[in-house]
DNA sequence: AGGGAAACCCGAACGC
DNA sequence: TGCGTTCGGGTTTCCC
């Protein structure tokens, strides 16, 4: 559930403070606590706990759905998967109920990786290439052109929605923003990617930019009981609006399953090209 | 190569 | 009220 806009919101609050959070920029790590060992994908927990100590946060950025904490020696990557959140506060007491990993900084500041369903993972690496090299382009990158997007779509023969959610194809899009963007672009989620015209590709890329930027502007969506703070859930066009009227034409929103994922769309605005 | 399914998890929602 | 069951969601892995 945390997708590009939610991760971007968290990254910004880690970097700049705000959203009830303290900035971790420039802070030195004094100690790490791991309360569920499998949270740490690499290295081993003992090595991880030893290696992060005395490293300082130089920057925080985002690539796809990864939070990238640039430390003085290494990169700390956090992927929230579907139920993760990051809390930053003061003191050494656990900040939340589901803390799986916590970093304790100088100045009494703590970062907690909250992860109730234990899907999220943490990496400590000297080189992020191994993780980042297989990721597709960032949809919000101004260099990512409609022409390139069109060529990419044409070179595949896949249903458009699962393709948009494939991180190797394009980065950062999950179930919510895929449904929202396809609705805005008036494209049926099962449309074969190679049947999408240049005009439609242009419209879809524009729609992706719009929904992702709206998500960021509203600090993400608080659709789960885990990630809090965002307000985009109040502006969904189709996601989790099954049987409710389409905002454009009042037709009840349909829900089908595509690629094992709940998929919401307007049957009138987004007609199935195969029927 | 594409696509379906299962696995990883567990709180919440639902059914009775 | 309380129990058991089902569901969902990002990613990887396996199989057809």
Q: What is the pLDDT of residues A12-69, one digit of tens each?
A: 999 998 767 889 999 999 999 999 999 999 999 999 999 999 999 999 999 999 999 9
The counts of H helices and E strands in chain A are: 7, 11
pLDDT of residue A232: 86
Minimum CA–C1' distance nucleotide for A117 = B9
CATH topology of domain A4-132: N-terminal domain of MutM-like DNA repair proteins (3.20.190)
Q: Which of A12, A27, A65, A100 is catalytic?
A: A65
Q: Rounded to an integer, what distance in angstroms lies between the CA atom of residue A98 and that of residue A145?
A: 41
Compute the distance between CA of residue A37 and CA of residue A101 in angstroms, rounded to an integer.
Answer: 9
Question: What is the mean pLDDT of the segment spanning A89-111?
Answer: 92
- Look up the pTM and report it: 0.95
At residue A77, the pLDDT reads 95
* CATH number of this structure's domain A146-265: 1.10.8.50
pLDDT (mean) for A119-146: 93
**A222/A228 Cα distance (integer angstroms):** 5
Q: Which nucleotide is nearest to A118 (CA to C1')?
A: B9
Q: What does the pLDDT read at residue A230? A: 81
Determine the pLDDT at residue A273: 83
Residue A219, pLDDT score = 86
Query: φ and ψ at A34, to 5 degrees?
Result: -120, 115
Q: What's the average model confidence in pLDDT over A234-247?
A: 90
Report yes or no: A84 and A2 within 8 Å, Cβ to Cβ: yes
- Tell me the per-residue pLDDT of A5-28, one tens digit each, with 9 for 90 and over: 999 999 999 999 876 788 999 999
Query: Domain segments of chain A: what residues?
Result: 4-132, 146-265
Confidence at A233, pLDDT banded by 50, 70, 90: confident
CA A9 to each of CA A24, A136, A159, A239: distance values in angstroms, whole numbers, following the listed order: 14, 21, 29, 20
**Which bases in strand C are touched by protein, i.e. have an atom under 7 Å from a CB?**
8-12
A97-102 average pLDDT score: 92
Question: What per-residue confidence (pLDDT) applies to A226?
Answer: 64
């Amino acid at each position: 559930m945390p997708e590009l806009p939610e991760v971007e919101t968290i990254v910004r609050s880690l970097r700049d403070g705000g959203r009830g959070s303290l900035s971790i920029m420039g802070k030195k790590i004094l100690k790490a606590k791991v309360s569920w060992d499998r949270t740490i994908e690499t290295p081993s927990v003992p090595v991880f706990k030893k290696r992060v100590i005395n490293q300082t946060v130089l920057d925080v950025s985002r690539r796809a759905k990864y939070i990238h904490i640039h430390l003085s020696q290494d990169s700390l990557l956090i992927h929230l998967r579907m139920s993760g959140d990051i809390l930053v506060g003061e003191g050494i007491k656990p900040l939340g109920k589901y803390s799986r990993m916590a970093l304790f900084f100088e100045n009494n500041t703590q970062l907690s990786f909250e992860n109730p369903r234990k899907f999220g993972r943490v990496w400590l690496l000297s080189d992020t290439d191994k993780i980042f090299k297989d990721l597709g382009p960032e949809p919000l990158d101004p260099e990512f052109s409609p022409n390139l997007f069109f060529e990419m779509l044409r070179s595949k023969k896949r249903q458009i929605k699962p393709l948009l959610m494939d991180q190797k194809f394009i980065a950062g899009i999950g179930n919510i923003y895929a449904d929202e963007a396809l609705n805005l672009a008036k494209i049926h989620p099962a449309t074969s990617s190679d049947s999408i015209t240049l005009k439609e590709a242009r419209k879809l890329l524009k729609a992706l930019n719009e929904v992702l930027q709206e998500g960021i502007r509203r600090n993400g969506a608080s659709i789960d009981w885990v990630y809090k703070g965002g307000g985009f859930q109040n502006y969904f066009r189709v996601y989790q609006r099954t049987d409710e009227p389409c905002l454009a034409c009042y037709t009840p929103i349909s829900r089908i399953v595509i690629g094992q994922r709940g998929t919401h769309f307007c049957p009138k605005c987004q007609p199935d090209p195969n029927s």
